Structure formats: C-alpha cells, structure tokens
Chain A
C-alpha cells in the first residue's frame, strides 16, 4: 500500500515551474468547467432573483447552482491528468464563481454587518483626503486603514462608489488568496494535485462563501497573510542567493498586514514563531531559513502600531476576549448552558428572531465535519510519512488539530464568534492535511473502482462545500433578501434604508442613537455619527418600554440629540434587519416589540417625533428647547 501511495505521489508531483508554456497548451477542461461554473452562478442568481421577488423559491435551486459550480471542478481536480496550470485555473474559477454568489445577493449595496463601517471609513477618506477619522460604530476600524485606503485609491481614480471599489479590492484579494494558497500547498507537498484539492477543501471552510467575502478588513488581511506564507515557503525552497528577493514581499507584506487588521497581524506573529520553532525542531539548529527575524519584525511592528497608533484596540479586544474565556469556562463547568447550534438572531434573548435550520441541512453540516475528522488522522499519517521534515507541514498539522479544538467553542455562547474567526485561519492547515488524506485514499483505488472512488471523493468535496457554507451562514440568509423592490415601475426601499436616506438628506453628520441595524444604515449610506449596542448603553435605552430619568440624562450628556426607535424584532438582528419585511409565504410576520419602546420618548417634554414610517420613529429630544 505504501508503494502504491509513493507511486501515486511521484506520478502526481509536477514542478509548478515546469508549467511555463502558454496557457492554451494546457487549458484542458477549463473552458467546459468554466462554462458550467457560469451556469451554476446563473442558477444561483435566478434563485436569488425569485427570493427577492418574494416568491419563496425552493432552496434546492440555489444549492443545485452551488453544486453545479463545485462538483465539476472537484471531479477534475481529483484526476491525474490535469496540468498544474489547469488546476490553478480551476481553483480561480471556483473562487470567483463563489464570490459571484455572494455578490448576486445584493449587487448595489453593502448588506453584511461589517461592510457598513468599513464603507463609511472609505467614504470619510475620500471626503477628507486623510486617514483616522473617527467611526463611532467600530472605534478601532479607522486605525487599521489598509482596506479602506486601498479602496479609496480606486474610488478616487475611477470616481466610483465605495461599493464598486470595495468589491473589486476584495475580489482581487480573493483571487490572490487562491493563487497564493495553491502555490503554498504546491510548494509544501510538491504536488499540484494536492495543491488544487487543498484549495478546493479550503473553499469548504465555513467563512469562505459569505463572511470571509464581505467588505471587511479581515477579507484583505487573510490573503495578505497567505501571500506572506507563500513567499516564506518559496524562500525556504530556493537557494540562499534568492533569499533577499523573497524577503521583499515578506517584509512589505508584514508592514501592510500590521496596518490592515489587528488579529491577523497577531496571528502572523504567532504563525511565524511556530514556524521558527518547527524549523529548529526539524533542522536541529537555527539557520538562515529560520523565519525568526520575520517573527520579531511582525511582533515589533504590531506592538508599535498597537501602542503608538491603535491603542484603542486593547480595550476593544479585551472585553470580548475576557467574556469568551469566562463563558467558555462556565460552559465547561456547566454553570452556563451550551449554545444551540444552527441558531442565530438578535443580540438579546428578548428580541431574538427564532430561525431554525432544516434537519437535512444540519446533516450536511455535520457530515462535512465528519469527513474532515476522518481525513485528519489519514492526513497526519501522510505528513508523518512524507513531510515530517518540513516545518510548514508540521505547523499545518498543528493547525488541523487546533481546528477541532476551536470547533468546541461553538457551544459557548460568548465564544462562538472567536472560534468561528479562528477556524478560518486554522482551516489553512486542515485543508492541506485533508488534501493529503484524499490523495492517499485515491491512490489505493485501482481498475473500475477508480471512477467510483473519484465520484465518491467528489461527492465528499461537495458535502464539504455545502456543509461549510451551511454552518458558516444562517440557513435563511443564503438566498437573497429584498432591500429594494419595484412597484408599478417605481423603486421602493426597506424601512431602515428609507430612514437612513432621509437622515442623510436632512441631518448629514449628526449624532444619532439607534439599534444595531439602523445604526449601520445610518453611517452608510446615511453618513451620520451613530452610537449603538452597548456603547453609551444605547441598547438598554432603546429596549426599555418605560422612560427612566437616566435615559434622557445619558443621551444629553453625550450630546446625542436624535434617537431612532425601531419596533421591528429584526432591528436587533445583525444579519436580517436591513431588508423589507416579508409576509408569508416569503417570510414570517414577527410580532413587533412593545409600543412603549418607541412611545416612551414622547414623554420627554422637549421631544419632537419628526419621522414615522410605522415601525421606525425618529425623535429629536431637544426640538422644544
């Protein structure tokens, strides 16, 4: 069996440098598979269009589209015949088609929770021509201006909106991510086939399709991190005389990463230190290949940026991290109940929108974890047999094991988000290890079983893709939701969007207190300064049904004159609240929050109720002064 695997890998091992010929000579099945991916995207966009038309289409249409994109690519990537160039083209098609699925949800506006704050920052840069303008909603974000700065370049050079420029920058970053990841896996494994399968598995990580594709600083930081790792791996593989050349992207990339995203820059330092340690373990000495100097550089630059420029990050990260650790411990000891999987909704239990995931979808999500779990020991065995002298392979193995560790955080109510974000990084290692497992399993197949086995492995990759997507994003939000629609040829828009546009027209740049959803739309496209959530205790003020003296005092002390009260239950739901309210069969009609949540502000003697759209009411608490 060992000989079979060795022969398989030897046959498959193709130096990527050898693929220097023109793409046309090795284009293989790319045209056919790209066509199928286009059809798959078309099917997804039709499903989205039917959902936006509130016709309640079957989700099967959408998932069929996803599989039409994925399965032909997986099937071809598993083959022995495809050239390295063809494999690279296929993973690029996969990444871009899946990015298209995300964009097809809403092609004119940002509608993902983090996108509004970063879009606001980009608009502020364009408006003021300088960085670091405050963002009341995500205070630390202006201190990490990498994404918004890059976006502002395109905005200014093209005259286009932050939306268009933003999706181009994130699209370029995702293309960079898959190419660099392909090269990284190819370099470590010595196999373009393992590289292609590894990238395909990575596309099955829960955040790949939606969360990681949103316009957010993490969506640029992760590709930069992978480019750095790729450059490090290449530097390792080339003679010392090339070291300087490969150091250029590493050093520049480290600096860029530090100013783009806090957590990724700290992750980079951790990764480089782990790699340095693995190097010492493997080589038994510190030699020029050891990335310790880069680890020191990354750690030093991150610390300087944190202390000199972005000191607000400390308090920003401290509270949720402490809460996550505390609640994880409480969950382990049984003091707090576990979080229900496949549930999402409002920020507090009183306002939660109950949404459940169908059993079949849950089975797919669990099956994807089971496949990864089965692949882990097989892959680790392959690492031990063939790659244990490679520092990267050892680090990937650690990450692969770590993935299942952080999976447990999904059961802790306050820690699931930290676990979800960490999983995106750890999945880099897991994808590599499971790709080794898949190729080793494939190598055991002979004769007629090859086709059947290839089909089964393709199906497994399909389950990974769909299962990952299901566990990474709420089930009811995979299909598009209407934020605007037409009636008699005229366009109308959702209640919070209409309120935000009204605020932009009459109160640009003014201070508002609002729910999480209204706040996001108020900063972009509203262009206002907004306090929300637990900042200044806004959430408590808005959730209360009776006016307390401290409510007004708090608002006045912080010079927040305008208050947006929203009775929609979804107005506390970071994912569902931006859209038009739907009626059966397209959606559920939720009982509105008590009338007191809005009416209480009328008891303020100087208040004016200046805007009313049914569920949303805007007050000026100083109008009568």
Chain B
C-alpha cells in the first residue's frame, strides 16, 4: 500500500478503531471509533478495490462508502452466524478489519504504480462568519438533543399506583412478597391489608410513599399445615384520603411453607 496514502490511512484506521473498540471501557470512546469502523471504512475499502485505478469521484465514493458499509454489516451478520463463536464483539471487529485490509490490498494491487503526490483530506475553506454559523448550527442541534432528553414534570398526566404480590423468593422461604410503587404526583399515605385464607385479622402495614418511591413488604406465613391445599391470599391497598375503598387489589395462593402467587 506504499504510495497509496488513502488506503494506508484506511487500513491503519480500521486496526486502530477495532483495538480501541475492544479494549477501551468507555462507551462514548467506543462509539466514536466503532462508527467509522462499521459505517464508513468497509465500504470505502470495497469501493477502492472495485474501482481500482479509476475511483468514481468524491460524492459517489461517499455514497458507496456508506452504502457498501451497511451492506457489509448485513452480509457480515450471515457470515458470522455460521462462524465459530457467532456474533460477538471480537468476531465483528475481526471481520470488519479483514474486509478493510483485503479491500485495501486488492485496491493497491489494482492501482499498480503509486500515484505521485500526497493524499490530501478535503479542507473546508470557511470564513469566520461561516464557521460561526456552522458552530451555531451544531450548538442548536445539541441544544435540541438536551431539551429532548430532559425528563419534565407532567402535571396533566394521570398518576397511578402499582401493587403486586408474588411468592417469597428462595426455595425455603414461605409467605408472600408485596410491592407498592407510587407513580402519583404527590406523596400518598397507604394502608396495606393482607388477608391470609379465612383468618380473622389481616396483616396491616401503614406507610407513606413519595412520588416514584417503592416499598416491599414480606408477609411470612405461619400456622398452616405443610404441604396443604392452597390457601387464598388477598392484598388490598387503601389510601388515607379514601380509607374505605380498596384502591388496588391483588390475589394469590399460599401453601404455608411455600407460596404461589
């Protein structure tokens, strides 16, 4: 590839990007190197190999680089699916680097004698005002991204509360787990009543939850023969604002030593 600086740069960039993508633990850095590795370089190398000494012009080369890179990813999916190990970060990096290196070598061979002169990246000639406007455009796009990704209060959205009940976790555990999650706009005072079978007194818990806050309650089961016929369990959730109306209701089954929902 001596003398074909674009090919040398593409090959070196592919290897560097692959190493960074595999070794660097930071997602943003990996994203910055993975995008050219996956979405630009393979298409560039295949185009260079296909067109050899007569490249198709910068705009067409850009379209082909993007398009053929996407095509490489699609077809690479099939290749890696039947390769040992399947689709993994390492196999993807290896495949993409291989495509770029083979493409660059074929291109170099087809181009033959090295062209004179150094490879030059296009350099936009911008005036100060043009640069300022482009910077402003980038800032506007970024600001739009920040605004869109900011979670906002939604006072006119309907709030609600989630109540769930499941068997206590673990093979030896008995009883039920009950969860309450406040998705209302305000702090709510709750009363939770768990009725086990036909027992006279339900288990009662009282608590406050702020918006977004959750509470888990473990209700042990005692005094039931084990194993036995399943006994129904009912959990009712009340709000202090309306203490006589069950706001949420869940039901399940328990066998004493072990419960099923």
Which residues does A use to contact B, with CB under 8 Å? 16-17, 19-20, 22-25, 27, 31-32, 34-35, 37-39, 41-42, 44-46, 48-49, 52-56, 84-85, 88, 97, 100, 103-105, 107-108, 125-126, 128-132, 145-150, 152-154, 156-160, 164, 168-169, 172-173, 175-176, 179-180, 183, 220, 223-224, 227, 230-231, 234, 242, 244-246, 248-249, 252-253, 255-256, 259-260, 480, 482, 484-488, 490-493, 495, 498-499, 502, 506, 580-587, 602, 608-615, 618, 620, 623-624
Which residues does B use to contact A, with CB under 8 Å? 21-22, 27, 30-31, 34-35, 37-39, 46-47, 50-52, 54, 56-60, 62-64, 66-71, 73-78, 81, 85-89, 92-93, 96, 122-126, 129-134, 136-141, 143-145, 147-166, 181, 183-187, 210-213, 230, 232, 248-253, 260-261
Q: Which residue of B lies closest to A238 (CB)?
A: B56
Given the known inter-chain contacts A31-B134, A35-B136, please indicate yes or no for A612 contacting B156, CB distance below 8 A.
Answer: no
Contact B71 A582 (CB under 8 A): no
Contact A487 B56 (CB under 8 A): no
Contact B77 A152 (CB under 8 A): yes
Q: Which residue of B lies closest to A56 (CB)?
A: B156
Contact A149 B73 (CB under 8 A): yes
CB distance from A129 to the nearest CB of B (A): 3
Give bound CA distance, A172 to B65, whole Å. Answer: 11
29 pairs of residues in contact across A and B, judged by CB atoms under 8 Å:
A24-B125, A27-B125, A34-B133, A35-B134, A41-B141, A53-B154, A54-B156, A100-B145, A104-B145, A104-B147, A129-B85, A149-B87, A153-B96, A158-B31, A159-B27, A179-B66, A242-B51, A249-B47, A252-B46, A253-B68, A487-B159, A490-B211, A492-B183, A580-B158, A587-B156, A608-B260, A611-B162, A623-B260, A624-B253
Q: Which residue of A lies closest to B40 (CB)?
A: A172
Contact A623 B73 (CB under 8 A): no
Given the known inter-chain contacts A130-B86, A150-B77, A158-B30, please indicate yes or no for A107 contacting B149, CB distance below 8 A.
Answer: yes
Given the known inter-chain contacts A35-B133, A54-B154, A608-B260, please indicate yes or no for A46 contacting B147, CB distance below 8 A.
Answer: yes
Contact B156 A495 (CB under 8 A): no
Instruction: Give the chain B neighbours of A160 by CB distance below 8 A.
Output: 27, 30-31
CB distance from A593 to the nearest CB of B (A): 16
Among B47, B75, B154, B249, max chain A CB count under 10 A is at: B154
CB distance from A125 to the nearest CB of B (A): 6
Contact partner of A220 among B27, B70, B134, CB < 8 A?
B70
Give bound CA distance, A480 to B162, whole Å. Answer: 25
A contact face: mostly helix, strand, loop, or mixed: helix
Instruction: Give the chain A neighbours of B39 by CB distance below 8 A.
Output: 168-169, 172
Instruction: Give the chain B neighbours of A49 by CB distance below 8 A.
Output: 147-148, 150, 152
Given contacts A168-B35, A485-B151, 11 further A-B contacts (CB under 8 A): A23-B124, A24-B125, A88-B59, A157-B92, A169-B39, A252-B46, A256-B74, A485-B154, A485-B157, A583-B158, A587-B156
Contact A104 B161 (CB under 8 A): no
Given the known inter-chain contacts A614-B160, A623-B260, please indicate yes or no for A22 contacting B122, CB distance below 8 A.
Answer: yes
Give bound CA distance, A134 to B95, whole Å. Answer: 26
Contact B81 A130 (CB under 8 A): yes
Contact A41 B144 (CB under 8 A): yes
Given the known inter-chain contacts A16-B59, A42-B144, please indicate yes or no for A145 contacting B155, CB distance below 8 A.
Answer: no
Given the known inter-chain contacts A25-B125, A158-B34, please indicate yes or no for A172 contacting B66, CB distance below 8 A.
Answer: yes
CB distance from B129 to the nearest CB of A (A): 8
Give bound CA distance, A160 to B47, whole Å. Answer: 29
Contact A38 B141 (CB under 8 A): yes
